[in-house]
Structure 1
Amino acid sequence: MLFYLLSFLSGFLIKSVDWIEDELKGSLIVKWPLALISGLLIGFVISGSDFSNIFLAAIVAQVLTGKVDKATHGLAIAVAAVVFLLLGINGLKLEHFAIFIIPAAIDELKFTGTYAFLTLYRVFLKAVAFLFVFAGMPQYFIGIIMFDAGYILFKFAQDKIASHVSQ
């Protein structure tokens, strides 16, 4: 249960860093501690959860597709890597990692036109994680949904936060 909460919090913090970088043009110094904390949380999820493979695949996919395009993103991934390299990776299953890396990489592509919703909702990794439910491994789906729930919650909160930041 703790790792699902950490997953949720890391999603919330990652989106907050994205928002500061993209919408506020990186203007708030708080982006650095937020990136650091999100990296710690993701590192702990990879080190201790039974859904570590999906998070590891998502990080590797982001690196391989060039989505680590801001220093704060690099900090978060570097911190996560240090944590899981020091603490180990819980339940590393290379076959699960290999299954998750492909949809994670596809989710990082930018789709346009009729298929733009695929970029917005990043459905491929979640869909593959959902299939694991039928194999008796719901933790992957729950873990990634919790991350997304935190991410989406920040999206809803960002307008309220923006009004306080601009004052």
Structure 2
Amino acid sequence: MVLILIAIVAAMTGKAGMSYLNLSNRDGRIRPEPWIGLKANASDTWKNVGRNMAVVITSVTAVVIYFQVIHGERVSLDLFPGLSLIAVFALMNAFSEEVIFRFSFVAVVHRFGYSPYAAQGLAAATFGIVHYFGTPGGIPGVLMAGYIGWLLAKSMIETKGFFWALTIHFLQDVVIFFALLMK
């Protein structure tokens, strides 16, 4: 399904749209967003902020997952055979969801000249809504996933690449799958 979606986006957007799947673009100027602490500071680039966001977002995800999945449950740390599966599933899920919920919106919005906020809004709304029944779930899941959808679309737009969106999402999925396999 993801490969079909990539083909559809490629047909609609051409080479310019496909360039957003680039993993080597890791830096870019950040458009100020004062409401989340991203000010108009020349030192704020995705190279620095992306790394910091990866740590903060993964840590917050771990806390929320602990309270939603693990808290009060008996857990098993006998995961050795499952560790490689966690990494594989996390990468597959992160890649698939980034293509579906970010890349498709970013590439098409860019191709047709709409505001980048349109891609970010679509990414936030769709990613948030589908996570109501996900992990984390409920209203906290919608809010967290909506914010992540918005932020990762922003990272793709401003770096013209896929690296931070995939990396941050992968780290979150590792935490989530690890917690689910511990039960």
TM-score above 0.5: no
User: Could you state the TM-score of these two structures normalised by the residue count of structure 1?
Assistant: 0.35
Larger radius of gyration: 2
More relative contact order in 1 or in 2 (CA 8 Å, sep 6+)? 2
User: Could you state the TM-score of these two structures normalised by the residue count of structure 2?
Assistant: 0.32
